[in-house]
């Protein structure tokens, strides 16, 4: 089978401190959960208050406006207080703290399967909205909004993104292995909600081609055409821009007309399945936990709202001197400021690093080697931008094109924080 890749830049990315594909454990249920209630950019209005008892899966915050999603209690218990904190990007967050009490209504219980095929597209969209289903890889954009935007296209292909170009995405792989049929049915449900979807494409990195075959086999009885496209695994192949480029090459080579793409990962598809078939909001997710500062790397099934400090404790605690904790990939993730920050719906990895693992260890002056230019997939000159930013000169051109992949940072022999500096300025400009 052919393999399709984006044309230039990128690099193979390995990290021996990430967990292995098969090392999956259940995290303990947290005695205290911190359930995020939106942030200063996404408004969620609490509908319960301090002292109230909440049930597992109960609506506790109602979304208001674009970008916000409903919030549910992920454990049964009592709301003890409301807290706020600022994240590494200086964005303020609110959250309810829930003390675990009472019985679980959904944990380990079999629920009757809801027959979704007779449900209208608009009712499916409403179910996504009611259950607070969001993109679970990065942006936490509400699925209902993505579906609504998809319906406005003339023709759409739903792309199931199982591209593992980064070892910290291993939780996606574990989820697919455990719930492959639910990933596929979740895709069929989203396709139906979108109306305009004419086919489902499983985009799987070449190294995981057996997973691609399994997805295809699991989709044999769907009422919609499906196909498998094998991609390269040079980082950042999974990124929407680079994945779309590879898919356009496939489209041209196969003489197809795929229309626009709606790209979704396995976690949101399983969440869509659970919402529609089991009437369940997102209560938990798989997270890859590791890094040089952590005793034991493992993939964990973790309740949303579990504090990062509790997760680390369950991995045996720290070994060596902790320098930094990142949620997401070390190349592009967000810095954790407090160990009480919770696992969120989009937290696919937690990386605890000693100084040796942080990219800006032992910074030196730029030696003009040009490596950062070679690996930049969007054709920027990171060292030029970095030098100008250091002099407080902010140009506009790179702001939209840099997608923060971090390739420039990882290859820099002088260990300069290229992508971090560029992204910080980009965030600053967005907030201004
Ligand atoms: S400049 Fe931006 S897009 Fe280019 S390699 Fe660096 S982070 Fe990636
Ligand atoms: S990779 Fe680092 S040292 Fe080389 S040109 Fe870019 S900024 Fe300079």
Query: Which residue's alpha carbon is at the smallest distance from atom 2 of ligand 2?
Result: 412
- Same domain? For 155 and 7 the reply is yes
Domain assignment of residue 425, yes or no: yes
Domain assignment of residue 119, yes or no: yes
Question: Which of 278, 300, 329 delimits the end of a domain?
Answer: 278
Query: Which residue's alpha carbon is at the smallest distance from atom 1 of ligand 2?
Result: 412
Token pair 């506009």: residue = 396
pLDDT at 168: 97
Q: What is the secondary structure of 107-171 as a DSSP string?
A: TT---PPP-GGGS-HHHHHHHHHHTT-B-TTTT--BHHHHHHHHHTSSSEEEEEEE---SGGGHH
pLDDT at 332: 85
Handedness of CA 105, 189, 143, 344 (dihedral sign): positive
**H/E element, 38:** strand 32-39
The pTM for the full model equals 0.94
Ligand 1 atom, smallest distance to 9 CA: 5
Domain assignment of residue 204, yes or no: yes
Report whether residue 410 contacts ligand 2, using a CB cutoff of 6 Å. Answer: no
pLDDT at 227 over 80: yes
Give me the domain span that covers residue 120. Answer: 3-14+110-278
Least confident of 100-109, 242-251, 385-394: 100-109
- Same domain? For 148 and 271 the reply is yes
Ligand 2 atom, smallest distance to 411 CA: 1
Pocket test for ligand 2, best of 11, 362, 369 (most atoms within 8 A of CB): 369
Question: Which of 252, 278, 304 delimits the end of a domain?
Answer: 278
Domain assignment of residue 128, yes or no: yes
Domain assignment of residue 241, yes or no: yes
Q: Which two tokens stand for residue 431?
A: 């907030």
Contact partners, residue 211, CB within 8 Å, separation at least 6: 162, 173, 176, 177, 204
Quote the ligand 1 centre to 422 CA distance (angstroms): 8
Which tens digit of pLDDT belongs to each residue from 16-74? 999 999 889 999 999 999 999 977 778 899 999 999 999 999 999 999 989 999 999 99
Least confident of 134-143, 300-309, 354-363, 373-382: 354-363
- Same domain? For 126 and 274 the reply is yes
pLDDT at 359: 61
Domain assignment of residue 182, yes or no: yes
pLDDT at 214: 97
- Same domain? For 143 and 246 the reply is yes
**H/E element, 231:** strand 226-231
pLDDT at 131: 97
pLDDT at 111 over 80: no
- Same domain? For 8 and 125 the reply is yes
Ligand 2 atom, smallest distance to 386 CA: 7
Number of domains within the chain: 2
In this structure, the number of other CB atoms found within 10 A of the CB of residue 19 comes to 25
Domain assignment of residue 197, yes or no: yes
In the three-class reduction of DSSP (H, G, I as helix; E, B as strand; rest coil), residue 351 is classed as: strand
Handedness of CA 253, 254, 256, 258 (dihedral sign): negative
Contact call for residues 322 and 339 (beta carbons, < 8 A):
no
Report whether residue 246 contacts ligand 2, using a CB cutoff of 6 Å. Answer: no
In CATH, what number is assigned to the domain containing residue 270?
Answer: 3.40.50.11540
Report whether residue 359 contacts ligand 2, using a CB cutoff of 6 Å. Answer: no
- Same domain? For 273 and 166 the reply is yes
What would the mean pLDDT of 391-419 be, rounded to a whole number? Answer: 86
Question: Which of 278, 304, 331 delimits the end of a domain?
Answer: 278
- Same domain? For 7 and 152 the reply is yes
Reported as half-sphere exposure (CB side, CA atoms, 13 A), residue 209 has a value of 10
């Amino acid at each position: 089978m052919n393999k399709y890749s984006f044309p230039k830049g990128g690099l193979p990315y390995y990290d021996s401190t990430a967990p292995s594909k098969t090392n999956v454990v259940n995290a303990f249920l947290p005695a205290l959960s911190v359930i995020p209630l939106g942030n200063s950019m996404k408004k969620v209005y609490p509908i319960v208050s301090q002292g109230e008892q909440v049930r597992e899966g109960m609506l506790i915050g109602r979304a208001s406006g674009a970008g916000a999603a409903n919030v549910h209690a992920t454990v049964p218990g009592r709301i003890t207080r409301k807290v706020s904190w600022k994240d590494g990007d200086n964005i303020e967050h609110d959250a309810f703290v829930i003390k675990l009490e009472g019985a679980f209504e959904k944990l380990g219980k079999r629920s009757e399967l809801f027959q979704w095929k007779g449900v209208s597209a608009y009712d499916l969209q409403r179910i996504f909205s009611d259950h607070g289903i969001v993109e679970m890889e990065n942006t936490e954009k509400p699925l209902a909004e993505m579906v609504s935007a998809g319906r406005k296209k003339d023709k759409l292909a739903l792309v199931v993104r199982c591209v593992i170009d980064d070892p910290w995405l291993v939780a996606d792989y574990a989820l697919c292995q455990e719930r492959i049929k639910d990933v596929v049915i979740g895709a069929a449900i989203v396709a139906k909600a979108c109306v305009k979807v004419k086919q489902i494409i499983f985009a799987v990195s070449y190294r995981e081609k057996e997973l691609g075959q399994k997805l295809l086999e699991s989709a044999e009885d769907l009422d919609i055409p499906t196909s498998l496209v094998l991609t390269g695994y040079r980082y950042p192949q999974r990124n929407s821009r680079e994945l779309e480029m590879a898919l356009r090459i496939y489209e041209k080579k196969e003489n197809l007309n795929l229309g626009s793409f709606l790209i979704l990962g396995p976690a949101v598809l399983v969440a869509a399945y659970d919402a529609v078939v089991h009437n369940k909001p997102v209560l938990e997710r798989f997270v890859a936990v590791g890094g040089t500062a952590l005793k034991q790397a493992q993939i964990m099934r973790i309740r949303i709202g579990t504090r990062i400090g509790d997760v680390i404790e369950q991995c045996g605690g720290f070994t060596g001197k902790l320098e930094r904790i990142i949620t997401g990939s070390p190349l592009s993730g967000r810095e954790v400021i407090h160990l009480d920050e919770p696992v969120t719906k989009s937290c696919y990895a937690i990386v605890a690093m000693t100084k040796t693992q942080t990219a800006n260890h032992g910074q030196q002056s730029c030696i003009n080697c040009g490596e950062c230019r070679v690996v930049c997939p969007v054709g920027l000159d990171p060292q030029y931008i970095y030098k100008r930013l250091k002099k407080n000169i902010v140009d506009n051109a790179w702001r939209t094109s840099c997608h923060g992949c971090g390739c420039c940072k990882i290859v820099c022999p002088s260990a300069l924080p290229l992508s971090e500096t560029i992204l910080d300025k980009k965030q600053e400009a967005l907030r201004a």
